[in-house]
Structure 1
Amino acid sequence: MKVFLDGAEISLAAGSTLKDALEAAGVGATEEAIIGIVKGREEEAKETNSYWLNTTKGKMRIELLDTGLQEVWHRAVGTISGLKVRWSDGAAVALGPVGTKMSPTRREEEYDRWEVILGASGFEADKGQIVFARKRHSAAYGSPAENRGVFATVVGGKDLLGRLELGDSILDAEPIVEWAAISEKMATQDLSLPIADGMEIYTRIEVDLSESAPEGAEFFLGATRDGVFSVDRTSSSYASSDVLLGERIEFENREPRSEGAVTIRTSGRGLGRIFIYKADRTSIPGHSVVGTVTAGMDLVKLAEGGMKLAAKVNPERIMLMGLPLKEAERIAEGRGIDFEVEGHFGDDAVVVEQRPVATMQILKEGKVTVKSIPSDRMVAIELYDDLAPKTLDYFRHVVGLKEKPVGPLPVHFVYENTILFKPAISATSYKEILPENKPGDLVRAGEIGVTNQAAKNAGLVGVKLEDDPKYGPSGEKFLATNIVGRILDPEKLRDVKEEETVYVLEVR
């Protein structure tokens, strides 16, 4: 039997499972990500009255009218590919020739804007053409008598009509099957699921990022850095992710929110929320368009809140922070990027900063400058998402770990067995730090604490180098201390000094 996996046709033996299909295609299942299954689309496509006409100038959508001319179209649609613009004027544009079995008339008729007409060049039946009305006008197109030859209307991509000219052509006609019409569809993680002939299997979405939104593109790369797009909410028109909700991002690119558009909310309620649109919507100032889903939209339409979608993003992110210097240089050279180093050059050097940060900007400039330090000045940390989610929203924000693997923590004060850090970003005015995961009887050496809003120094970060039964890592009583994680190599902190900057690497 034959099935389609991410658009590629593969052959499977009868009785095969989803696991067999993935193995046959050489595709691995992404942990926690759903796989989409669709069946029956081909049968629905035979009955559809909606089509995308893909032209050399873009896409245009037509809806067939309920007339006898539908049959003329359905018989001719297989020959639409390659139709060229025959003539064009202010009133209409015609493409042909197309073979039809119709009886042309010489009658002049009145046509409205956006109507699509079957005509015959020279009133000869074997020289059919498709005429698109650009404005209300009267003409004799050699159309059949039924409904003045009008068989469809343009309902999408209307601006395209004004740009079609001699030399342009229709590349193909793509039947549109409304999602609601497909009855056999599901999202699953069950690799033992039996596979049936003709099934379509979708394992991932593919996203092309926009050069017009370099910062927004990097924002999306940060949100999908684990190779998944996490879906938190869905509606009839979009699926959205709150992975970076609340993070500030500049508006860069205003475009219509077409099906497949990836946008970021850049102002107001929902700041930082990422949307993938399942239906066309107009552009609005608060949504910056940062990319487009080029494959796997069915997976987006199947998703529900709480699901994850495997994501392949183009271009691949250039994130060198946290890597050994030599590995970072190898990656840059492999991408054809000039590589400059500031700081430590030894064999133990690790990268803690890069300029530019944005992948699209690096590719545009063709170079990147990194800052490196000795590896013993970068500490690894583990964070307790299940125990202190609200405080970690603050901590990752001020340290820069929401989108990057490495962030700076400036040393504020050192005394006895305590190191206090004052984050470079002040966020207590707009980020709440309510009490959560407070210590019980003892604070363990290496635990990371954040002063909560029960004390005046809210937002201060601290680490104890020895166990302490009385005070938290940030020097506060347990009531005012939230434990957010731990240092995995606390010995690296024993000789740090005030005004020094410690870089932390989150181990995920």
Structure 2
Amino acid sequence: MFGTSSKIKVEINGNEIELPEGSVLEDAIRLSNAPYRKGTAIGIFIERAGEEVADVSRYTVRTSKGEFRIELQDTPSPSRKIWMSHYAEYSNMPVRWISRDAVAFGSFASEIVPVRGNADHKRFELMFAGGLDPANTHLILVKDKHSAEYGAPEEGTFAKVISGKHVLPDLTKNDRILDIEPVTESAEAGEHICTTDLSTRLENGSRIFTYLEIEIDAEAPEGAEHLFAVTRDGTFHIDAVSSSYISDNRFQGELVTYENFESRSAGSVFVRTVGYGAGKLFIATDDRTSTIMHSVVGHVVRGLELAKMAQEGQKIMVESVPHPIMLLGMSYEEAEKEMELVGVEVVREGYMGDDGFIVTQDPATTIGILKEARVTLKGVDPEHLVRVKLYNDLVPKTLEFFRHATGMQYKPVGALAVLMTYDNTYIFKAVEKEADKYKEILPENTPGVKVAAGEIGVTNQAAKRAGMVGVKLEDNDLFGPTGEKFASTNIIGRVIETEKLRNFKDDDIMYIIESSTEDL
């Protein structure tokens, strides 16, 4: 119990709360019910005297449907100058018209010089347009890629929406801009710490950051899935820190599709797509220029201060908007309930029973599913889904190969094709990719005196058939599950439901799902 009635005020994730003097970090989290994941680092900033400095390149636009943030183009232009001089005058401005491709606010007089003719417009661009009358200028937000004549000036667009993009489709003729403010950054002197110690004592005025919220960019559906896979455990690992970014390197070596070329302003989340370091996931903590090697997949919309405080070796909690849609491993019944909540129609394919386990979804990406508001799911008889226990601590490198080969690196359900069966032995080959061509399989956790029934073996590089996967239904003290000598066999885990293997014959597909427990 606290021995005083004195109170302190702290801010946690932007929300101010009052605590008894002497409170610690755990008290603030519990009282505020703030998002927190055990073991993650939390940022604390203790303010001192100072000032706020406006960043004249980014602005927050608050509308009656929510707020979004824009970033001005680096290139000077008349439109950019007009915005910087008059942005405050666009407060309380209504939607004038709206279409499938754009929304216009206005009207107002400006000094733009309209140009005749159609022009190509990209998603989330911002421009002034007055038809042929500058006295009737509108502020136009592009919702979708299209070509049209708006009477925009020669320079065209002057800014781009960088976060809050989900607000644009929700705008109607009854909405309006409420106000516009330049983004400000604290320049005050002060002390900041990033800690996992929940007993850290808090001072009056402390600002606490427990997590990052990342808004996914609709232009990067494949990159978003990479982000979801890297942060599947709800955390971003700080494997490297520089003056302008932090990076999570757990998926280094993965090949990711390049999709979205845009400036990597502070808060941008991007992935390297080529060269050494491909697959690394980055969060920009300071402005960086665009490159053709890094594809932007999202933007931090809450908690960027935590990313700036984080230290190498720590991990921080992350949440994404939208949440990832991964239905593999669920039953039809479970998936349909979940999709009903987000207004997505489900189409069944394959095994049709309510208990069918889902092994594929089409579209495969979250962005694709939400865009179409429809997903086709393929289910299989539960007897064709096999649960396995993987030895993560014993064979990390071999499991890296195995997860690539089965597709489990990105999905909870993997697939193996039955190559042959003989004498209670089952030999499988990869369905997703021939990962042995670019993933090493060095000897790791090779058997001692025998291999137990149900253990999963992978042939290592000591033998010609490296990459083969096998399981035996009986103990064996001579050969591994793939028929190789013990020295050529890496034991990576075991099948929990060995009786299900008898359901498979040559050329069948066996679907597997990892279990953290053996008592199923």
Q: Give the TM bin, normalised by the shorter chain.
A: 0.7 to 0.9
Change (3 A) 1:347 1:53: closer
User: Quick check: 1:44 aligned with 2:50?
Assistant: yes
Structure-1 residue corresponding to 2:83: none
CA distance in 1, matches of 2:43, 2:370: 33
Residue deviations 1:269-299 (CA, integer Å, cap 9, x gap): 1111111111111111111111001111111
Structure-1 residue corresponding to 2:226: 219
Whether the aligned pair in 1 keeps the contact of 2:35 and 2:211 (CA below 8 Å) is no
Whether the aligned pair in 1 keeps the contact of 2:36 and 2:211 (CA below 8 Å) is no
Whether the aligned pair in 2 keeps the contact of 1:55 and 1:169 (CA below 8 Å) is no
SS of aligned partner of 1:309: strand
Structure-2 residue corresponding to 1:172: 181
Ranges in structure 1 where 5+ consecutive residues have no aligned partner: 63-79, 92-157, 162-166
Residue deviations 1:222-257 (CA, integer Å, cap 9, x gap): 222222122222211111112222222211110011
Whether the aligned pair in 1 keeps the contact of 2:73 and 2:159 (CA below 8 Å) is no
- Offset of residue 84 of structure 1: 6.3
Q: Which amino acid aligns with 1:355?
A: D
Length-normalised TM-score, structure 1: 0.76
- Offset of residue 483 of structure 1: 1.3
- Offset of residue 305 of structure 1: 2.8
Structure-2 residue corresponding to 1:462: 470
CA distance in 1, matches of 2:343, 2:367: 14
SS of aligned partner of 1:43: coil
- Offset of residue 457 of structure 1: 0.3
CA distance in 2, matches of 1:313, 1:470: 50
CA distance in 1, matches of 2:249, 2:60: 37
- Offset of residue 87 of structure 1: 8.7
Structure-1 residue corresponding to 2:300: 293
Structure-1 residue corresponding to 2:345: 338
CA distance in 2, matches of 1:84, 1:3: 34
CA distance in 2, matches of 1:222, 1:54: 31
**Identity %, equivalent residues:** 42
Q: Which amino acid aligns with 2:227?
A: F
More displaced 10-residue stretch of structure 1: 200-209 or 306-315: 306-315
Change (3 A) 1:213 1:60: closer
SS of aligned partner of 1:229: strand
Alignment match of 1:54 (pick from 54, 59, 62): 59
Q: Which amino acid aligns with 1:507?
A: S
CA distance in 1, matches of 2:367, 2:434: 28
- Offset of residue 176 of structure 1: 2.6
Whether the aligned pair in 1 keeps the contact of 2:71 and 2:159 (CA below 8 Å) is yes
Alignment match of 2:281 (pick from 274, 295, 317): 274
Alignment match of 1:489 (pick from 492, 497, 501): 497
Whether the aligned pair in 1 keeps the contact of 2:250 and 2:280 (CA below 8 Å) is yes
Structure-1 residue corresponding to 2:481: 473
Whether the aligned pair in 1 keeps the contact of 2:43 and 2:192 (CA below 8 Å) is yes
Structure-1 residue corresponding to 2:436: 428
Structure-2 residue corresponding to 1:375: 382
Alignment match of 2:42 (pick from 30, 35, 38): 35
CA distance in 2, matches of 1:50, 1:223: 31
CA distance in 2, matches of 1:379, 1:339: 24
More displaced 10-residue stretch of structure 1: 26-35 or 216-225: 26-35
Higher radius of gyration, 1 or 2: 1
Change (3 A) 1:7 1:473: same
Structure-1 residue corresponding to 2:452: 444
SS of aligned partner of 1:254: coil
Ranges in structure 2 where 5+ consecutive residues have no aligned partner: 1-7, 62-68, 75-85, 92-107, 114-156, 161-175
- Offset of residue 419 of structure 1: 0.8
Give runs of aligned pairs for residues 106-145 of structure 1, distance below 5 A. none
User: Quick check: 1:501 aligned with 2:506?
Assistant: no
**What root-mean-square deviation, in Å, do the aligned CA atoms of Structure 1 and Structure 2 show?**
2.8
Alignment match of 2:373 (pick from 366, 372, 379): 366
Give runs of aligned pairs for residues 41-440 of structure 1, distance below 5 A. 43-45=49-51, 54=59, 58-59=70-71, 82=88, 171-177=180-186, 182-424=189-431, 425-440=433-448
Structure-2 residue corresponding to 1:107: none
User: Quick check: 1:19 aligned with 2:30?
Assistant: no
Residue deviations 1:362-415 (CA, integer Å, cap 9, x gap): 011110011111212111122222211111111101111111100111111111
